[in-house]
Amino acid sequence: NPTEGIINFQDAINQNYDLDLYTIQGLFIQRFKITSNNSSIDISHLPNGVYLMIAKPNQKTSFVEKIVKI
């Protein structure tokens, strides 16, 4: 972080889950379906700025990460 468009990550959870992308103002942008085969997402089509990435591996847990696109 920062990124020009490709976000690579390692999945310690090793399961399928949704990853939601929001503007810093909280507006929903896109949902990505993450699988054990998927270790990157592409946000190159989005304008430069700060985004929030929220991973929801199950109903009780979520993880939030700030992403800066340059």
Predicted confidence at residue 70, as pLDDT, reads: 94
Predicted confidence at residue 15, as pLDDT, reads: 73
* Residue predicted with more confidence, 66 or 11: 66
Predicted confidence at residue 18, as pLDDT, reads: 85
What is the Cα–Cα distance from 60 to 17, expressed in whole angstroms? Answer: 12
**What's the pLDDT tens digit per position in 18-62?**
889 999 999 999 998 887 766 788 999 999 999 999 987 777 778
**For residue 28, how many C-alpha atoms fall within 13 Å in the half-sphere facing its CB?**
5
- Residue 61, strand partner residues: 58
Predicted confidence at residue 13, as pLDDT, reads: 58
